[in-house]
Structure 1
Amino acid sequence: MAIIGFSLPAQDEYPRQILYGLVTNYQRHNWDGDELGRKKTPLAIVDFFPDAASEERFRERYRFVNWSRADVSGKGFDLAALDKVFA
């Protein structure tokens, strides 16, 4: 599963609730299971963080993400991000 560019304004809580449901279901349920011969890959998150403080704010805002089961690309949508999205 991949999330690309999901930096919403702080007042926009409804899409964040939907994202919460999708992410927690993906990361919490059947993580180590084998579905049709395939295991889940880490959640790929692609966004742009101009500095470490921006990434820290992002991680705090989306603290429901299990960061040990996520692969974050903070340099925007580049070739490295594509590799993570299609891993």
Structure 2
Amino acid sequence: MIHEFITSRFSKQNTFFPIKIQIDDVQRHVSFYKRRIIGYDNVTLSTRKINSVTIHKNNELLFLSEIVISTASKELRANGFKAIDAITIKKLIDSLI
């Protein structure tokens, strides 16, 4: 099953191009989609390459959470998730690691 989460347009850095995270628990991978003016950037990670998932609370009033997914070589960050969505993303990825 594919779970999809989209950041809010009202959060910092997501006004025009929100980030979408898809978690596929059958094929066991996580995909980040960041829209651009033309097209989008896509990063797909196998859950075997993910070391940790952390949630940082931001000081914005409505959208408090930032997800940080760490691999051996880089960190992927997405801010602007509702707290409940951030917790769900973390639980889903932790269950696949």
Same fold, TM-score > 0.5, yes or no: no
Larger RCO (CA within 8 A; separation ≥ 6) = 1
Q: Which bracket does the TM-score occupy, shorter chain normalised?
A: 0.3 to 0.5
TM-score for both structures, normalised by structure 2 = 0.31
TM-score for both structures, normalised by structure 1 = 0.33
